[in-house]
Amino acid sequence: MRINWQRIPQSLAAALAVLLLLFGVAVVTQADRDYRDEQARRAQLRAEILAANVVAAVDFADLEAARETVAAFGVDPAARIVAIYDAGGTLMTGMSRASVRLPQRLDPTFVPGANLAEGRAPIMRAREQIGTTYVVSELEPLSRRLARYALITLLAVMASLIVAILGLSQAALRRANRELQDTNAELLRQMSEREKAESQLRQAQKMESIGQLTGGIAHDFNNMLAIVIGSLDIAERRFERNPERAKIAIGHALEGANRAASLTRRLLAFARQAPLQPQPIDANALVAGMSELLRRTLGEGITIETVLAGGLWRTHADPGQVENAILNLCVNARDAMEGHGQLTIETSNTMFAPDGPGAKAADPFVVIAISDNGPGMTQEVLDRAFEPFFTTKGLGKGTGLGLAQVYGFVRQSGGHVNIHTELGQGTTVCLYLPRYFGADTTVPVDEPSRDLPRAQDGEIVLVVEDEEQVRRMSIETLSELGYQVVEAQDGLDALQILANRPDITLLFTDIVMPDMNGRQLADRVRALRPELPVLFTTGYAPDAVLRSGLGGQDVGFISKPFTVDQLARRVRAVLDGARR
């Protein structure tokens, strides 16, 4: 049995010290008592020895001999009375010392005094008592007694002191140890926190740099696309009377370009630098509307089941992005199941607190959950799932952007994404989108229309765009729609033109321009012509534009690339809004 000396509590040491002290006191007291008893007995012994020695002297009344013997006994420095009494109790001879009174008669009630022991012995001749001896001696001189006590007390005190010091040093040691442990624990905690913070920082930096990269790429790409789409659109119209084949080809090109545009939009959304166009949407309707698309995209091996909750709350998000997200997740599910399996899309209402129950009050969310019964994800894959360019699919089969983009879009919409996975069982991805408490009207998704709003009389648009090709395209498009168009290539130019042309009815400006950006231009214009409606456009808008709100009556926004359709509607909306 190993004794952990450190565990012996301080109280135990103190108790031991006290016990030791008490024991010492007890020992001293007992020893003292024994000593005194012995001394008392010695007085008695002396009396007995004296009695034996003076038998004849007393018997024969030889006082001289008796006196001699008494004197011999009186040599003992502790002796205070040495006396012989005859059979009648009368003093025969005796001595006393140190102011102790020698009694003349043998008196059993005589008390010799404090600190004195007495002894009486009968002087026996045969069986007859012929006298009594009486001896009184001092027990112990006070000084010697005190010295004795002092020594023992000193020893006991020293022993107790040692124990106490040991106990105290032990306690101090234990305290220091505990402090050390606490410091150590604190150190470890701080280290782990720092690691966590560092990894979070790394993550954020990664996301940011990727965002910048993709943003940059998307911006340029976007501009090219804007040209392509616009040109094709125009070409389609111009060649309306021409052979159908041209039209079909152009249609395909348009479709492809649109898909590419959609991709860049996704990239931008991920980079958090493209404003979304959130609207109140009914997730059930949206999912239902996608079912055909999903069936076509996922293939026959996948059984699709939709469980749409009744009374589903409305949510407020960009419907295109929601569709993209769902599509992305379904494609991932299909790939995980390798083309065969069960896919379930479920919608529901829930109260969700992102930090776990109780940490923060839960808010109402609409949940869209996509589940598969594929192989599930390992912990390593789960940890990196939302990382951009991270993919478990083979080369050329996945961009690794899907989940990252979903994450970006959902976060931007004020929601959350959760992944639940179990190896061998499957994976469920839940999208939490905040409940929308606003107006009940939901805009139906993706309603193509051939009914283009056109310009009305006297509507003149000032197009401000620093990139020549893009400017050309915008001018062409607007002309096509029947608007008169004036162009400027920068803010200064625009202001000059505006000053000279009070008949301009709309300012259509790019936001990101060198020297003076669109926002600044709009502010300057407002000073000149406060009632002039403004339409901003960009493929690369800073957050400020989005955050400042685009709800103003005469401020509109259209993101590049836009179709003729979209531009027509937007311009019309802005102009109509200003007119009211």
Partner 1 sequence: MKRSLGLIALLLVAALAAPAAAQPASERAVKAAFLVKFGNYVTWPGPATAGPITLCIVGRDPLGSAIDRAAAGQQVNGRPLAVRRLPRLDHDSGCAIAYLLGSNAQAVPAALAGVAGTPVLTITDAREGTARGVIHFEIVRNRVRFHIDERAAAASGLSVSSKLLAIALTVRSRMSR
Residues in the chain: 580
Question: Smallest distance, Å, CB 60 to partner 1?
Answer: 6
Question: Smallest distance, Å, CB 137 to partner 1?
Answer: 24
- Distance, in Å, from the CA atom of 534 to the CA atom of 110, rounded to the nearest integer, reads 134
Given the rule CB under 8 A, which residues bind partner 1?
53, 55-57, 59-62, 65, 125-128
Instruction: Give the nearer residue to partner 1 in terms of CB position, either 63 or 578.
Output: 63
Instruction: Give the nearer residue to partner 1 in terms of CB position, either 87 or 217.
Output: 87
Among residues 484, 385, 366, 476, which one has the least CA distance to residue 427?
A: 385
Instruction: Give the nearer residue to partner 1 in terms of CB position, either 125 or 194.
Output: 125
Question: Smallest distance, Å, CB 90 to partner 1?
Answer: 17
Instruction: Give the nearer residue to partner 1 in terms of CB position, either 123 or 521.
Output: 123
Instruction: Give the nearer residue to partner 1 in terms of CB position, either 72 or 180.
Output: 72
Q: Are strands 279-281 and 315-317 parallel, antiparallel or unpaired?
A: antiparallel
Instruction: Give the nearer residue to partner 1 in terms of CB position, either 53 or 391.
Output: 53
* Run of H or E residues at 350: strand 341-352
* Residue 326 · residue 274 · CB < 8 Å: no
Instruction: Give the nearer residue to partner 1 in terms of CB position, either 49 or 331.
Output: 49
Question: Smallest distance, Å, CB 124 to partner 1?
Answer: 10
Instruction: Give the nearer residue to partner 1 in terms of CB position, either 58 or 385.
Output: 58
- Cβ burial, residue 309 (10 Å; 0-12/13-18/19+): middle
Dihedral pair phi/psi, residue 304, rounded to 5° = -105, 130
Question: Smallest distance, Å, CB 122 to partner 1?
Answer: 15
The Cβ of residue 446 has, within 10 Å, a number of other Cβ atoms equal to 10
Distances (CA, A) of 60 to 57, 129, 329: 5, 14, 138
- Distance, in Å, from the CA atom of 289 to the CA atom of 312, rounded to the nearest integer, reads 16
Q: Is the peptide bond before 533 cis (omega within 30 degrees of 0)?
A: no
Among residues 566, 353, 411, 567, which one has the least CA distance to residue 478?
A: 567
* Residue 472 · residue 519 · CB < 8 Å: no
Question: Smallest distance, Å, CB 97 to partner 1?
Answer: 25
Give the bridge partners for 427, in sequence order.
372, 421
Question: Smallest distance, Å, CB 67 to partner 1?
Answer: 12
Q: Provide the residue type at 383 as one letter.
A: D
* Run of H or E residues at 159: helix 142-238
Among residues 250, 209, 212, which one has the least CA distance to residue 230?
A: 250
Instruction: Give the nearer residue to partner 1 in terms of CB position, either 72 or 443.
Output: 72
Question: Smallest distance, Å, CB 82 to partner 1?
Answer: 17
Question: Smallest distance, Å, CB 160 to partner 1?
Answer: 56
The Cβ of residue 77 has, within 10 Å, a number of other Cβ atoms equal to 11
- Distance, in Å, from the CA atom of 287 to the CA atom of 301, rounded to the nearest integer, reads 20
Question: Smallest distance, Å, CB 51 to partner 1?
Answer: 11
Instruction: Pull the structure tokens for residue 242.
Output: 């021409």
Instruction: Give the nearer residue to partner 1 in terms of CB position, either 126 or 359.
Output: 126
Question: Smallest distance, Å, CB 55 to partner 1?
Answer: 5
Helices (DSSP H) in 379-530: which residue ranges? 379-384, 402-412, 468-480, 491-500, 518-528
Among residues 88, 174, 173, 95, which one has the least CA distance to residue 132?
A: 88
Instruction: Give the nearer residue to partner 1 in terms of CB position, either 55 or 285.
Output: 55
